[in-house]
Amino acid sequence: MGCFAFRSGKGRSKSQPAAGAKTAPAKSPPASDSSGGGGQRSKASSASASTPTRSIQELSDERGAQRLRVFDLEELGSATNGFSRALKVGEGGFGSVYRAFFRSAGGGRVFLAVKRLNQRSLQGHKQWLAEVQFLGVLEHPNLVKLIGYCAVDSEAGKHRLLVYEFMPNKTLDDHLFNRAHPPLSWRLRLQIMIGAARGLDYLHEGVPEVQVIYRDFKASNILLDAEFKPKLSDFGLAREGPTEGKTHVSTAMEPPPPPADKKGGDGRPPPSAKR
């Protein structure tokens, strides 16, 4: 068995303007020019200069290997007591989430969350890889922190796992619709809304090299830490925004494939299903 590893980053861009580099100011149009054409050209030039030019793949190759830890499958199994149902804290379209126990360098116990891909999940490796790439690059107080990952292919099947910081207060969805939790105060509700908005603003404008379209903003993807500070999670459906030379991107969701037992090989119902 072997664990998935990032590429060495040979394909990264070699030229990038320094963060503090100065640029020549745009010339203002002559006073006699009343058409405003010069101002429009200046705005177009400014918009072109601010358009992201690097892909999330390049940024992931460059930064992800430094920020993320590669876990062994055996280590994650031990930390979750063999993926025990007693340590299961949630389940979604990707798979199950477990509370895991790790030993810190000082000998104390550290709680983390381990998300394990369901073998029958329709999301699969593509969404797992998107999480690794986006959260290996993005970093903000209102985004969940990805600690590391594991990918192992064995005779038993393909294993894809993600390790996050643990959110003890679960999701906003739990507190809004589960009567087992007391109602949130208006102060907390406002705090959560503002934090979630700041997370979205960071995705759209906070990363100079790339813009991110989240595409999965909902209460069940807003995690709450011990102080009820919100953190956006689940980036399996995220996409990059427009890059240089493109004016827009499609955000349409791809429909899941039909179940194998519902249709035949030609797309029509099998003979046994006809009346």
Does residue 22 have a known ligand-binding role?
Answer: no
Q: How far apart are CA 99 and CA 168, in angstroms?
A: 10
Catalytic residue among 153, 216, 225, 234: 216
Locate tokens 């020019």: which residue? 33
Question: Tokens at residue 248, please?
Answer: 């827009």
User: Is 147 in contact with 165 (CB distance < 8 Å)?
Assistant: yes
| Closest CA relative to residue 200, chosen from 155, 169, 233 | 233
Three-state DSSP at 203 gives: helix
| Closest CA relative to residue 213, chosen from 182, 238, 193 | 238
Three-state DSSP at 73 gives: helix
Three-state DSSP at 138 gives: coil
Active site residue 216: yes
C-alpha 9, offset from chain centre: 20
Report the binding-site residues for ATP. 115
Q: What positions carry a catalytic annotation?
A: 216
Report the binding-site residues. 115
